Structure 1
Amino acid sequence: MFDKAIEAKNNEMLLRALNSTFKEKIDNDYVNFFMRLLPETWHEEHEEIINLIWLHNLNDDVFSDVLYLIATNSETYRKYDDENESTLRKCIHVLK
């Protein structure tokens, strides 16, 4: 499901794929999908993906560069963060 969403750059398909993760066990197989999705700007689900990485302890050094990119480019990746900067905070938690 993630492959099709990424290939088509389709936000609706991505949302369905992300919703399906709540029914499945998330493991390291998802690292590749999340690595492909995080730097992309065609979707607005960065916070949700980072949250999944954090909640399922997929903390991996492979995410360091892309999380830094998201944390430091608020206009591109964190448009909807309010004064609480939830996406930024989640990036920092995953980077710990």
Structure 2
Amino acid sequence: MTDTTNDFDFESFKQAAIKGLYEGKPLTGQNGLFAPLLKHFLESALEGEMDGHLVQTRQTEQNRRNGKTTKTVKSSAGLLDLTTPRDRSG
């Protein structure tokens, strides 16, 4: 993948999730314990999809990354603000 500055800290997530379980917080839904994990998973999947797309389009045109944008997505974990990659071809 390309963006290593925004790595997900699984150890701190695990500690926070265990603490939240003991406090009786919900696993899913708005502000659920799994919301940060779902956000990280979706952003990683979008980065991988962009990598694959760029490999395919580079053979026929000069396409490359063109920053990122933030989108709000409704999910079972509530509303998530995802940072999604963009390319020049759109």
**TM-score for both structures, normalised by structure 2:** 0.29
Looking at secondary structure, tell me which structure has more helix per residue.
1
Task: Compare CA radii of gyration and give the structure with the larger one.
Answer: 2
- Greater strand fraction, Structure 1 or Structure 2: 2
